[in-house]
Amino acid sequence: KMAERSSHTIFVPEMMEDNKRRLLIANSIASAIKHDEFSIHYQGKVDADEVVVGYEALIRWRSAALGVVSPAEFIPIAEQSGKILQITKWVIKRVCMEFEQILAVQKNDVVVSLNLSAHDIKNASLVGYIKEMFTLYKIDTKHIEFEVTESAYLENFDAANGFLTQLRQMGCSIALDDFGAGYSSLGYLTQIDLNTLKIDKQFVDNLNVSKRSTLVTKTIIEMAKQLNLKICAEGVETREQADFLLANGCHQLQGYFFAKPVSLEELLKG
Q: How far is the CB of 8 from ligand C2E (least distance, A)?
A: 33
At 47, which helix (H) or strand (E)?
strand 38-47
**Residue numbers 21-80 binding ligand C2E by CB under 6 A:** 43, 58-59, 70-72, 75
By CB under 6 A, residue 96 contacts ligand C2E: no
Q: How far is the CB of 104 from ligand C2E (least distance, A)?
A: 22
By CB under 6 A, residue 150 contacts ligand C2E: no
- Cβ–Cβ under 8 Å, residues 22 and 74: no
Return the one option of Ca ion, ligand C2E, none that residue 191 interacts with (CB less than 5 to 8 A, by type): none
Return the one option of Ca ion, ligand C2E, none that residue 117 interacts with (CB less than 5 to 8 A, by type): ligand C2E
Return the number of other C-beta atoms located less than 10 Å from residue 173's C-beta: 20
One of 53, 91, 167, 267 touching ligand C2E (CB under 6 A): 91
**Residue numbers 200-239 binding Ca ion by CB under 5 A:** 234
By CB under 5 A, residue 173 contacts Ca ion: no
- Cβ–Cβ under 8 Å, residues 115 and 143: no
Residue 75 or 77: the one with the smaller Cβ distance to ligand C2E is: 75
One of 147, 160, 207, 231 touching Ca ion (CB under 5 A): 147
By CB under 6 A, residue 205 contacts ligand C2E: no
Q: How far is the CB of 66 from ligand C2E (least distance, A)?
A: 16
By CB under 6 A, residue 256 contacts ligand C2E: yes
Burial class (CB in 10 A: 0-12, 13-18, 19+), 242: buried
What is the full DSSP assignment across 106-139? -SS--EEEEE--TTGGG-THHHHHHHHHHHHTT-
By CB under 5 A, residue 120 contacts Ca ion: no
Q: How far is the CB of 175 from ligand C2E (least distance, A)?
A: 10
What is the Cα–Cα distance from 138 to 183, expressed in whole angstroms? 37
User: Distance of CA 108 to CAs 52, 57, 84, 253, Å?
Assistant: 8, 18, 33, 17
- Cβ–Cβ under 8 Å, residues 169 and 201: no
What is the Cα–Cα distance from 200 to 5, expressed in whole angstroms? 40
Choose one: 8-16, 160-168, 206-214, 234-242; the region binding ligand C2E (CB under 6 A).
Answer: 234-242
**Beta strand pairing status for 144-149 and 67-69?**
unpaired
User: Distance of CA 233 to CAs 81, 132, 142, 252, Å?
Assistant: 31, 32, 21, 6
Residue 37 or 234: the one with the smaller Cβ distance to Ca ion is: 234
What is the Cα–Cα distance from 80 to 96, expressed in whole angstroms? 26
Number of amino acids touching ligand C2E (CB under 6 A): 20
Give contact residues for ligand C2E (rule: CB under 6 A): 43, 58-59, 70-72, 75, 88, 91, 115, 117, 177-178, 234-237, 255-256, 261
Give contact residues for Ca ion (rule: CB under 5 A): 115, 147, 177-178, 234
